[in-house]
């Protein structure tokens, strides 16, 4: 197994772990806090909006690290 394959496996495992943590810590409490089905759907959609924002911030920070790493070190 090459180093690149190991990197991909670790990245995939961490992605699954992060998605599981998001579902357990954000999505499930948001949905179970409401009684009506429409409110549950709205809470789930807004939770996915929060997930998209978090992914966007992660991408921006990752790009900044990749671009600025040679200048810093």
- pLDDT number for residue 73: 83
Give the residue-averaged pLDDT of 38-58: 96
Residue whose token pair is 């810093």: 72
Residue 72 has pLDDT above 90, yes or no: no
Q: Report the pLDDT value the prediction gives residue 36, as an integer from 0 to 100.
A: 96
Q: What is the pLDDT at residue 31?
A: 94
DSSP letters for the chain: --HHHHHHHHHHHHHHHHHHHHIIIIIHHHHHT--SHHHHHHHHHHHHHHHHHHHHHHHHHHHHHHHHHHHH-
CA distance 53 to 72: 27
How many domains, the chain? 1
Q: What is the pTM of this model?
A: 0.77
Name residues whose C-beta falls within 8 Å of residue 44's C-beta, 6 or more positions apart in sequence: 27, 30, 31
User: pLDDT tens, 2-28?
Assistant: 999 999 999 999 999 999 999 999 999
Residue 56: domain span? 3-72
């Amino acid at each position: 197994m090459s180093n690149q394959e190991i990197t991909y496996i670790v990245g995939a495992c961490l992605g699954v772990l992060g998605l599981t943590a998001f579902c357990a810590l954000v999505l499930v409490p948001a949905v179970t806090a409401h009684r009506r089905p429409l409110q549950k759907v709205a809470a789930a959609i807004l939770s996915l909006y929060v997930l998209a924002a978090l992914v966007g911030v992660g991408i921006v920070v990752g790009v900044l690290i990749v671009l600025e790493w040679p200048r810093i070190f």
